[in-house]
Copies of this chain bind each other. A is one copy, B any other.
Amino acid sequence: MAARGPGPQSAEDRLIARYFRPLANHPGAFGLSDDAATLTPPAGSDLVLTTDAIVGGVHFFANDPADLVAKKALRVNLSDLAAKGAKPAGFLLTLALPKTIGDAWLKVFAGGLAADAEAYACPLLGGDTVRTPGPVTISITAFGTVPQGTMVRRGGAKVGDRVLVTGTIGDAALGLVQRRVAGAVRRWKLDRAQRDHLAERYLVPQPRIAIAEALRVFANAAMDVSDGLAGDLGKLCAASGVAAAIEIAQVPLSEAARKAVTAERSRIQTVLTGGDDYEIVCTVAPERLTPVRTAAAAAGVPVSEIGVVVAGKGAPKFLDHTGKPLLLKRPSFSHF
């Protein structure tokens, strides 16, 4: 992504200069006036790299507000950085735009992105804008730093570790159902604030950057929950060569989600396997539970203990109040 200085400009140059240069306040971004950016992690640090794309009609709706689309695109990447214990350092943006997208949309999009780049201290370093005959596609690569060798891995869970999650689970997936399935809102008897809560949880993830440092210091394994708690915890267990036993009653639900599940019991499947939570699941040795809780409280991030890492292989078990494992119809969300 690079705009010209003086002289005649292409439409692409103009849109970069107008909307994106203000976000590029990192010295290594060179004001988006070059073909590449530079980034130099502090001595003794590793750079943590993650990339996630969102596609119109797949990961967001075409009529979602452009500022929230921008925030979602960045935050799904910040969520990965947080789970890995990394501090944000910057990002690259690739924007594939259909001809139908005009300046009004781009202005709002850039505004949302600017607000988050500022809020999360994660400046725009560069990028690329391309035309597409398909839907708006936003691919972001985000960079973070950790002291060398300390990135929190998926594969570090140990038998006896406690399984913790941040925030509440299932809201975003229920928010999507509420948007797509006629009658859901009526059946669940949600009030306006509860409906808004679920809708917003789908639209804009809250990346748990505030707890990244505590995870790095105290967690044995962590990943963000983007494709459903059951499936993602399964991936963490598989990478660690362990299994897990989770008490469904301990999985933290918002008031809205609790009402939905109470009214329609099968929705517990949506909660445990639906995507877009962007919370963090991690495993922590029992003796480190207290420091993790203290650090999380100081960071203002709710954490809940939901189960324990056990020896074995295979998918984690989700146990009901009688201790019986729930059969999950489709453990992990996948567009494939």
**Cβ-defined contact, B315 with A7, below 8 A:** yes
With a CB–CB cut-off of 8 A, which chain B residues contact A47?
Answer: 38-41, 47
**Cβ-defined contact, B126 with A334, below 8 A:** no
- Bound CA–CA A59/B129 (angstroms): 12
Q: What sequence of 0s and 1s flags, for each residue 109-127 of chain A, a beta carbon within 8 Å of any chain B beta carbon?
A: 0000000000000000111
**Cβ-defined contact, B4 with A238, below 8 A:** yes
**Cβ-defined contact, B134 with A139, below 8 A:** no
- Bound CA–CA A46/B27 (angstroms): 12
**Cβ-defined contact, A36 with B7, below 8 A:** no
User: Could you say which of A30, A36, A37 has the most chain B C-beta atoms within 10 Å of its C-beta?
Assistant: A36
- Bound CA–CA A144/B35 (angstroms): 13
User: Could you say which of A15, A34, A48 has the most chain B C-beta atoms within 10 Å of its C-beta?
Assistant: A34
Interface band, chain A: 35 or more
- Bound CA–CA A57/B130 (angstroms): 12
Min Cβ gap A97→B in Å is 8
Q: What sequence of 0s and 1s flags, for each residue 31-63 of chain A, a beta carbon within 8 Å of any chain B beta carbon?
A: 001111111110101111111111101110000
Q: Counting CB contacts under 8 A, is A307 at the interface?
A: no
* Number of copies of chain A assembled together: 2
Min Cβ gap A240→B in Å is 9
With A6-B313, A92-B51, A137-B134 given, is the CB distance from A36 to B239 under 8 Å?
no
Which residues, 223 to 255 on A, are CB-close (under 8 Å) to B?
Answer: 223-224, 231, 234-235, 237-239, 241
Q: Counting CB contacts under 8 A, is A166 at the interface?
A: no
With A46-B38, A47-B39 given, is the CB distance from A335 to B135 under 8 Å?
no
With A7-B313, A39-B47, A134-B132 given, is the CB distance from A55 to B96 under 8 Å?
yes
Contacts A/B (CB < 8 Å), 17 sampled: A2-B154, A6-B313, A7-B237, A7-B315, A11-B334, A28-B46, A33-B239, A34-B151, A34-B154, A34-B155, A35-B223, A35-B224, A51-B128, A52-B94, A55-B134, A58-B131, A58-B133
Q: A33-B155, A41-B41, A51-B92 are in contact. List 16 more A-B contacts (CB 8 A).
A: A8-B315, A34-B151, A34-B153, A34-B239, A35-B80, A35-B83, A36-B49, A36-B84, A37-B48, A40-B41, A49-B141, A49-B143, A94-B94, A96-B137, A128-B139, A132-B134
